[in-house]
Amino acid sequence: MVPVPPPDPAAEPDGYVVIVEPGDRIHFLDWSGVSAPGAPGVLLIHGISSTAWAWTPVARRLRAVRHVVAMDLRGHGLSDAPTEGYDPPTFAGDVLAVAEGSGLLADPADRIVLAGHGFGAIVAAWAAVDFGDRCAGLVLVDGGWESLEAASGLDVEEFLRGFDEPPEVMRSMASYLADRAAFDPATWDADQVRAAEAAVVETHAGKVVPSTRPHAAQASVRAMFGYDPISTLTAVSAPVAAMASADDAEGSRAQALAEASAARAAVGRGRIAVVSFGRDGHNLMRYRPEAVSAAILSVADEAGT
């Protein structure tokens, strides 16, 4: 595994916004950090119904050797939630705006590593295609290599009907945080509390509701269901790495990943470098931050930077 710096517990990011047409604000956290001359910075993209804070355990490590930025997707976190624009070109355009506005792509010769989690991996893949040679590497963290309909066995309407959190989890902030802590008590810390709190809003009645606007969540899910992993990943020129959590009983996710890797090889792209964690859940940034950080640094090294 590529050597990874220890986390910097004292680091705090600065928050900024960039403006995209027709005036929507996209928020991002700039963790700063220093990249060697010519070395790419890193842009981190969260999953659906999450925020940039989900990447904190990784950003605390990478900032020692890279300029690190984590963005809020449109409709999520502190970004605006327009009624339109939840489509591949617009999502990719948001990523480009953050990359340029943060200084990651300030110079025409600059390149970046894109890393996404879940739905964020899909957005990162769309952006990697648009970025072309300016993308130094793509890291798919438990997503981005499979058809969601095939993986879930559901169509989009069925998926949306089961998308809401159970009422007992959302009855109070304490219940919500206790539910999140129970996923893995060993990794529950102040950073995880902040990430969890950023994903919800507490109402006057004491209940919590997702901070992701309902129309944005639904539109993002529909975009996920429209994703074609083979055509997208075969168009990415940069090295690609994938990190997979526990598979289903039939191993269909591993099979989809193998098919995507073979498709890249068939068109002369490099195979996908795969690391699997058979006992860990979806949020690998929380459960395996060192390994995720290593994967991001590894694809940058593979690109010759």
Superfamily grouping for domain 14-163+214-302: Alpha/Beta hydrolase fold, catalytic domain (3.40.50.1820)
| pLDDT at position 36 over 80 | no
pLDDT (average), residues 194-210:
97
| pLDDT at position 120 over 80 | yes
pLDDT (average), residues 162-169:
93
Other CB atoms within 10 A of residue 275 CB: 16
- Contact of 256 with 249, CB cutoff 8 Å: no
pLDDT (average), residues 75-83:
97
pLDDT band at 303 (very low <50, low <70, confident <90, very high): low
Is the full-model pTM beyond 0.95?
A: yes
The radius of gyration of the chain from alpha carbons, rounded to an integer in Å, stands at 18
Amino acid at 248: D
Provide the pLDDT for residue 128.
Answer: 98
Provide the pLDDT for residue 35.
Answer: 74
| pLDDT at position 47 over 70 | yes
Provide the pLDDT for residue 279.
Answer: 87
Strand 68-71 relative to strand 41-45, pairing: parallel
The CA distance from 128 to 45, in Å, is 12
Provide the pLDDT for residue 167.
Answer: 95
Mean pLDDT of the chain: 95
pLDDT band at 249 (very low <50, low <70, confident <90, very high): low
Peptide bond into 88 cis (omega under 30): no
Strand 14-20 relative to strand 24-32, pairing: antiparallel
pLDDT (average), residues 56-70:
96
- Contact of 188 with 180, CB cutoff 8 Å: yes
pLDDT (average), residues 99-120:
96
Strand order in the sheet with 68-71: 14-20, 24-32, 68-71, 41-45, 112-117, 135-141, 240-244, 273-276
Other CB atoms within 10 A of residue 35 CB: 19
Provide the pLDDT for residue 34.
Answer: 78
| pLDDT at position 246 over 90 | no
Q: What percent of the chain has pLDDT over 90?
A: 89
| pLDDT at position 250 over 80 | no
| pLDDT at position 304 over 80 | no
Beta-carbon contacts of residue 21 (< 8 Å; ≥ 6 apart): none
Please tell me which residue, 301 or 237, carries the higher pLDDT value: 237
Which position has the token pair 């792509």? 105
Distance of CA 172 to the CA centre of its chain: 27
Tell me the longest C-alpha to C-alpha distance in the chain.
Answer: 57
- Contact of 125 with 43, CB cutoff 8 Å: no
| pLDDT at position 214 over 60 | yes
What separation in angstroms does the CA of 222 have from each of 13, 86, 107, 215?
31, 9, 35, 11
pLDDT band at 58 (very low <50, low <70, confident <90, very high): very high
What separation in angstroms does the CA of 85 have from each of 3, 81, 123, 220?
39, 9, 13, 10
What does the pLDDT look like over 88-98, one tens digit per residue? 999 999 999 99
